[in-house]
Amino acid sequence: MAITGCPREDGTAKVTTLLTASGGGAKVGGGISLDEIESLTITINQIVLVPQGEEGTEGEGEGEGEGEGEGEGEGEGEGEGEGEGEGEGEGEGEGEGEKQAVPDSHELIFTGELRVNLLDLTEVSEVLSSVEIPAGTYTQTRLSISDPELVLVGGDPETPITDVQLTASGRLFIGEDLILPADQDSLLIIDLNDLHLVQRGGSGGFVLTPQADVNFSVTDAEVTVAGAIVSVNPDNDSCVIEIEGSGGQQVTVNYASATLTFADATPATEGNLAVGAMLDVAGRAQVDGSVTAATVVITPSL
């Protein structure tokens, strides 16, 4: 992944981006409770960090779009109307499946199509990327998401509810100052702590208005990550995987203390860690971007 922009302090630092949903998955209204939701899945398309002094770049048009989206979402949650359909159409046309142009002064830290079930992330984070960026102060994080799908308890996972409208064209603007010192590796934690899922009256559809916090951390964190093996180093008990849906992002997995199994729970060995095999890893992300695995589930390549 290409990293753009010029250094704003001497040196660079590695940033490993994690996504979590610590707020319990959603605040639900309109006659449905959280325990009635089996899954709420979205696609992560793009994450951009905006350095101090560059907030106005692309800011006016996108900022207006966000405000309109949130306002429409509140109205739609209480009652259905023509504005709903117009808002949904505009959101899909502008945001879903389309990555936004990134100015040279901004830092593109993730671009891809990573599907995540947010209800799986209430107590753990998902690893999205690990990149080197210029040190300095970043004052805005821009997150683009798309394609929300909802499955209710007792519903058919093969036929999820797709009538879920994203407000703000699926673009979140998180205005929190992030200071990244030179030569200090950090975890960037994006916490979707309030999803605000509301059922629209009459139509049976839903409106999703995510809110998020973001911060840098220098403490390891419990994570999951999935991807295909691109190399194995038996001497160091480690392998490198390409994160599924990340557009080519890679992470090192240290498996020395991990329990290795196949998908059917039968035991596996280091010899089964072959290039091309898919891994589902649970463990702890380190600030250097590697993951120390506790469990590794192996799906051999065909």
> Distances in Å between the alpha carbon of 118 and those of 131, 153, 162, 216, 241?
23, 15, 15, 21, 22
Q: Is the pLDDT of residue 1 over 50?
A: no
Calculate mean pLDDT across residues 173-201.
90
CA–CA gap between residue 270 and residue 232 (Å, rounded): 10
pLDDT of residue 193: 87
Q: Please tell me which residue, 54 or 246, carries the higher pLDDT value.
A: 246
Q: What's the DSSP call for residue 153?
A: T
Give pLDDT, residue 22: 85
Domain residue ranges in the chain: 12-218, 222-299
Region of 295 (left: φ > 0; alpha: ψ -120 to 50; beta: rest) is beta
Residue 135 has pLDDT above 60, yes or no: yes
Query: How confident is residue 8, by pLDDT bands cut at 50, 70 and 90?
Result: very low
Is residue 133 within 8 Å of 180, Cβ to Cβ? yes
Q: Which two tokens stand for residue 67?
A: 């405000």
* All residues at 6 or more sequence positions from 40 whose CB lies less than 8 Å from its CB, including other chains: 25, 26, 117, 118, 119, 148, 149, 150, 151, 195, 197, 208
CATH architecture of the domain 222-299 equals Beta Barrel (2.40)
What is the per-residue pLDDT across 21-63, written as a single tens digit (0 to 9) for each? 986 545 554 545 678 889 999 999 999 999 998 876 654 334 3
Give the model confidence (pLDDT) of 70-114 as tens digits.
333 333 333 333 333 333 333 333 444 457 788 889 999 999 999
Q: What is the pLDDT of residue 76?
A: 38
- Please tell me the predicted confidence (pLDDT) of residue 99: 72
**Residue closest to 38 by CA, chosen among 124, 114, 147, 118:** 118
